[in-house]
Amino acid sequence: MSLMGRRIDYFDDPAAPAANSVKPSAAAFVLCDGAVLLTRRTDNGNWTMPGGAHDPGESLSRTAVRETLEETGVTVRLTGVAGIYTDPRHLVHYTSNDEVRQEFTVVYRAEYVSGQAATSSETTEVEWVPADAVADLTMDRSQRLRVEWALTQQGIWIDPTGD
């Protein structure tokens, strides 16, 4: 039995627990020389873009830059937005405190400024992954869709509203 909390992603799953929280997060899609800056999460082993929860007192764009530096050692500059992901069918269960958070993430586009990719306490691996190798990584389905969107689309993903 692990003492460490787990993170479990649900998508449109009748077995998902009910949401009890909404907390804005930011992530960074960092593309440099045809490679994407990705990390491997300590909590569930999946590859993901760097990012994390918004702290009151900072802008959400600062969240993206701060989390990227903390998780990868790389300083980035934001250049735009790849998508806003707020689908209420997407829930994340944090087992450490039984928080069931409705997904709410802005994915910013960013460019490399400085620093060398290095692991942190939240990540077991940090890599610049060539775009054509992303498909081979173990990723949560929703995360894979976001990276693929950012790699192939110029526009911003916004959630459908059912109209």
Strand order in the sheet with 21-22: 7-11, 90-94, 99-102, 21-22
Residue from 5, 6, 12, 77 in contact with its own copies (CB under 8 A): 77
Residue from 62, 120, 134, 145 in contact with its own copies (CB under 8 A): 62
Residue from 61, 119, 120, 142 in contact with its own copies (CB under 8 A): 61
Tell me if residue 40 falls in helix, strand or coil.
Answer: strand
State the residue for tokens 């909390």.
5
The DSSP 8-state label assigned to residue 97 in this structure reads: T
Residue from 36, 65, 92, 126 in contact with its own copies (CB under 8 A): 65
Is residue 111 close enough to count as binding its own copies by CB under 8 A? no
Q: Answer for the pair 21, 97: CB distance below 8 angstroms, yes or no.
A: no
Is residue 29 close enough to count as binding its own copies by CB under 8 A? no
- The DSSP element (H or E) to which 62 belongs, if any, is helix 60-72
Contact window for its own copies (CB under 8 A) among 5-13, 44-52, 101-109, 125-133:
101-109
Contact window for its own copies (CB under 8 A) among 33-41, 55-63, 117-125, 134-142:
55-63
Q: What is the 3-state secondary structure (H, E, C) of 127-153?
A: EEEEHHHHHHCCCCHHHHHHHHHHHHC
Contact window for its own copies (CB under 8 A) among 5-13, 29-37, 71-79, 132-140:
71-79
